[in-house]
A and B are shown apart, each in its own frame.
Chain A
Amino acid sequence: MFEALTEKLDGVFKKVTGRGRLSEANIQEALKEVRLALLEADVNYKVVKRLVDDIRQRALGQEVLESLTPGQQLIKIVNEELTSLMGEAQQGLQLVGKPPHSLMLVGLQGSGKTTTAAKLARYLRRQGRHPYLVPADVYRPAAIDQLKKLSTQVDVPIYSADTDQRPEELCMDALSKARGEGADVLVIDTAGRLHIDEAMMEELVRIKAKINPTEILLVADAMTGQDAVNVSKHFNESLDITGVILSKMEGDARGGAALSIKAVIGKPIKFIGVGEKIDALEPFHPDRMASQILGMGDVLSLIEKAQTEFDEDEARKLEEKLKKNEFDLEDFQSQLRQMKKLGSFEQILGMLPGMGQVKKLKQLKPDEKELVKVEAIINSMTMEERRKYKIIKGSRRRRIAKGSGTKIQDVNRLLKNFAQTKKMMEHFTKKGNLNMPSLFG
């Protein structure tokens, strides 16, 4: 997500961290670089100005100049200022009061409202709510069809809309239908529109007045440039939005839009979209994001993800097996599957501290295709073979290679690696210092 910005700032900080003393000129130099790094990351010009001024004031004060580690001190200040700009704590949806609640998604064309609506519905359902999708985009060709198809994917009921309806009346009707069906949260997908199109903005105001939504969420593209500020300002002035969802965060955008929007309209970023898959929506943690920008990683998010996606029973079973040294290829296969649920290797690595640089060097870039191969090989084994890998000799190896569409060398390599891993585990268990399952409670 923010690797590019992180990288830039890294370079800046490297210059100052080694120094025992920083002169005023050093700091000015570093701040100039910080300014350019932020501008290149699409942080709004005015926001950059303010941020750099704030940092400069503190940096030129005693706390840096007299510090024994002035470089560290400077980084600390930048981190604190970034965090305070991004907002402190995570802010979720505020679904208080009498249901049904309505969530209205608004934004420019192509910002990702329809996909986000489906993702949000899925998220709400997993929270134990009863969401109801409302396709209120009667303009874009096939927008209603798109949401309809997504609604079956996430298994959430949807209002059957017609393009001849007026959006505000459509929403009213949907509200009463949702009540009848026992839904408690409506997710309304509105048409994309330009913030300067007054007539179209009026339409949103009318919808708002009719259904009195609990939340109005602006869906904004993370790749937006300087205009992010104009867009969010206009939408906020017309609708008094309650929060922002940043979409397309999985690309290599530098995330300046996130900083700018928060700084200018002061509304919290509540979720981020991190992929095209229907489960790729995550709560946004501003404090974690600030440290991620500075390359400090986001271990907390990784652990949380592991906790929700890993099956606890499986983990416990695995722990037992490890202790008894019964770990076999079948367990290995289920491990692989669990890993996959966590996301791509790259996503996982991105959350670890300091991995930004590693990725840049391409040294640790794992080959996802290799994993697919490994899984195919294990899938081509019989149950017995998976449990007792030692029985896999020449002809079995040939068969497995054929069955999995790999080469016999691949099978050999896998078995060799597995044997080594097992040996290593034996070593650990004998020493009695196996305490990895603590992660899973």
Chain B
Amino acid sequence: MARFFGKRNKEEKDRDTLKEQGFLKRLRKGLSKTRSTLTGRLDRLFLGKKEITDDLLDELEEILFTSDIGVTTTQRLIDSVREKVARKELKDLNRLKTVLGDHIHSFLEVTPVEHALPAPGEPLVILVIGVNGVGKTTTIGKAAHIFKSEGKKVMLVAADTFRAAANEQLLIWGDRVGAEVIRQDTGADPSAVVFDGITAAISRRFDVVLVDTAGRLHTKTNLMDELQKIHRVSGKKLPGAPHEVWLVLDATTGQNAISQVDIFNKAIGVTGIILTKLDGSAKGGIVVGISQQFGIPIKYIGIGEKVDDLRPFDAQDFVKALFD
């Protein structure tokens, strides 16, 4: 244990002394990235122009493409603008930004997916899934921190029994945020670990159970079968569980994210999306089309490696960041 603390102190000390950033500063940096702070990309595009021309729309298209918004969604957005311009509903350049922003915003407004809720006295079970390397374990650590700060009793279940040292990584996080970790040896059946975890959580009256699963590419049918089994076994132990399924998406991922959401959603149903690594230069525009197409809301965004770097998703801020 002492070693875990030593590691944490060092990590935070290193990063802190390197950057010495206040909380707000970090948040702003996390959301605003490297782009110039003077003018956003749209403002620069509009500089010195008066009318909405085809060239301007082409450049607008480029901005949308480079944010990973994708061909279909981009074309829908541009077409709607073009139409409005043709019908003379939109002439003012300054209003273009608002119109486009509103449009994207409407794509992101999704009614939450309906899911079962735990009965009083039963734990809320959340299954966290995603492809390899998107940040599932880190997200669980941060989410546990949020639940803890709400005064909940939190359990982490290490159902990634495949990746070397995945257990240890979750243990360190559990230690960091003060959550109990249930685990078995590498190679154990993940469903069995989940079953044990939920059993313990019920008998010892935990409020929240966060299940960390192994990263798996959505194209591997045997691994998707395994996920369905985990889902089934959870429901057997506690009817209604898992109450939520969070799919973690990496903001740097391109159009492949659509395929990820599609296949994971078909396999076990996704109730919310967590978009990680938004502190890089990627804008995660892919979620615009995803929210719209699949009707799955984005719950949280990850904006850094620190324990409090998981934030509720705010569509307004997100749209603003796209054009900055």
Residues of A in contact with B (beta carbons under 8 Å apart): 36, 39-42, 44-45, 108-112, 138-143, 145-150, 153, 163-164, 194-196, 199-200, 221, 223-228, 230-231, 248, 250-254, 256-257, 276
Contact = CB atoms under 8 A, between A and B. Distances in A.
B163 interface: yes
Contact of A42 (B62, B256, B283): B256
A164 B281 contact: no
B33 A139 contact: no
B132 A225 contact: no
B10 A164 contact: yes
A109 B172 contact: no
Given A140-B169, A227-B281, A150 B164 contact: yes
B115 to A, nearest CB: 27
B40 interface: no
B53 interface: no
B273 interface: no
A264 B15 CA distance: 31
Nearest to A163: B7
- State the 6 A-B residue pairs at the shortest beta-carbon distance, nearest first: A225-B254, A110-B133, A42-B254, A149-B164, A142-B168, A146-B165
B62 A141 contact: no
Contacts of A140: 169
Given A196-B33, A226-B65, A251-B131, A142 B256 contact: no
A6 to B, nearest CB: 15
B71 A145 contact: no
Given A39-B71, A141-B173, A223-B253, A149 B165 contact: yes
A376 B217 CA distance: 28
Contacts of B162: 276
A199 B18 contact: yes
Nearest to A42: B254
A390 B244 CA distance: 56
A141 B168 contact: yes
Chain B: number of interface residues, binned into ranges: 35 or more
Given A141-B172, A163-B10, A110 B68 contact: no
B217 A227 contact: no
B254 A257 contact: yes
B198 to A, nearest CB: 24
A41 B286 CA distance: 13
Interface string B254-284: 1111010000000000000000010111110
Contacts of B252: 108, 221, 224-225, 227-228, 231
A225 B260 CA distance: 14
A248 B217 contact: yes
B132 A248 contact: yes
14 contacts: A39-B71, A42-B255, A44-B66, A108-B280, A138-B10, A139-B11, A145-B168, A195-B280, A196-B281, A226-B66, A228-B252, A231-B252, A250-B219, A251-B217
Contact of B256 (A143, A149, A252): A252
B65 to A, nearest CB: 5
Interface in B146-167: 162-167
A86 B167 CA distance: 40
A194 B304 CA distance: 10
B282 A163 contact: no
Contact of A227 (B11, B132, B280): B280
A111 B277 CA distance: 12
Contacts of B71: 36, 39-40
Contact of B132 (A41, A112, A148): A112
Contact of B280 (A138, A194, A223, A251): A194
Contacts of A200: 18
B292 interface: no
A226 B19 CA distance: 28
Interface string B26-38: 0000000110000
A40 B255 contact: yes
B256 A253 contact: yes
Nearest to A44: B66
Contact of A110 (B70, B219, B250): B250
B218 A145 contact: no
